[in-house]
Amino acid sequence: MDRDVQFIGQSVAFLDAVERASRAAGIGRPVLVIGERGTGKELIAQRLHHLSSRWGEPLVTLNCAALPETLIEAELFGHEAGAFTGATRARAGRFEEADGGTLFLDELGNLSMAAQERLLRAIEYGEVTRIGSSRPVLVDVRIVAATNADLPRMAQAGTFRSDLLDRLSFEVITLPPLRAREGDVFELADYYGRRMAAELAWEGWPGFTSEALGELEAYGWPGNVRELRNVVERAVYRWELPAEPIAVVVFDPFLSPWGEGRDQAPGAAGGLVREPSSEGGLACTTAQDPAPRLGPGHAGDLRAAVEAYERDLLRAALEANRWNQRRTAGAVGLSYDQLRHCMKRHGLALEAGRMPD
């Protein structure tokens, strides 16, 4: 594998998912990979293929959400010349291209019911029929499918075939979101940071300041690893002091001091939103309570004021939940680890030690 398909992480949740993929690789049954966007579903599909006996055969990918419904069946099963308008010559589909290898169907939940029916037949009987043809073609293909949709719920609602779901779910690998991968944010940030520094021809890797690492750890990462990679590489690219640790991390590149939504970054969890601080970092505040207004004589104390405001918000939330940290984390939309980090940063951990958790 090249460097873009390496598995980076040491958390138990992540390693368990990778191990399950490794065990399933040697069995030629369908595998369903479930996970949020950016969690690495395609990497798991590549692992399933490369560790299987089919590793020397094609790994063919089809993103079911990237094509209109009218073209998905033609892409999957192929077509004969004249089968529809624009079909000037015969074309093999992805099933035929993947013969002997693996077919990875990404965004499976977007398949139409008609395509689902033909896919079921292809899996059950190992044959496909091109559009416009009456002659089936035998294929030997291992199916790996991925989605972030709730397929069992879709099957109950009648928008996804239950029999197809049964055939695809011999093994189901659920990938943990980045917020559930304890310690992996640091590992990934260091990996992508070093790689970007090398791309920029820096002489060394200065790393991130402890404050910047704290911000990375506290963030909710709705886009998971893909988002983290963009954030880290952007931070390195924008940093102009290669000999000093990177201190500024911008989570939302669309934030603008001139736009209407400048105070809120997308992807903030629960009732908390992220705001740019005076040094380009992030501070926590609530969507319901506006930040305190500062007088003209206090412009230089903006960061201190925001930090104090965040501390007051956290302390009020802890008191409202009788210092139960798990309930408080749920109330303010943070994970338990993120709340612990914020408490430590604001000196609330010692107070918590005297309270029941």
The CA-CA-CA angle for residues 215, 216, 218, to 5°, reads 65
Domain 3-176 in CATH 3.40.50.300: yes
* pLDDT one-digit tens code per residue, 187-217: 999 999 999 999 999 999 999 999 999 999 9
How far lies 113's CA from each of 119, 147, 158, 164, in Å? 10, 16, 9, 10
Q: Could you give the percent of the chain with pLDDT greater than 70?
A: 83
List C-alpha distances in Å: 338 to 185, 236, 351: 12, 23, 17
- Cα distances (angstroms) measured from residue 135 to each of 70, 95, 128, 199: 21, 15, 9, 52
pLDDT digit string, tens, across residues 286-314: 334 444 444 444 445 666 777 788 888 88
Q: What pLDDT shows up at residue 319?
A: 84
For residue 92 the two structure tokens come to: 């093999």
**Entry pTM:** 0.69
The CATH fold of domain 183-251: Helicase, Ruva Protein; domain 3 (1.10.8)
**Residue 284: partners with Cβ closer than 8 Å, 6 or more residues away:** 218, 272, 273, 274, 310, 313, 314, 342
Q: Concatenate the DSSP letters of all residues of 126-150 into one string.
A: SEE--BT----EE---EEEEEESS-
Q: Does residue 240 surpass a pLDDT of 80?
A: yes
Compute the average pLDDT of residues 122-128. 93
Q: Domain boundaries in the chain?
A: 3-176, 183-251, 258-357
pLDDT of residue 179: 94
| Average pLDDT in the chain | 84
Length in residues, the chain? 357
Q: Give the C-alpha separation, 290 to 169, whole Å.
A: 48
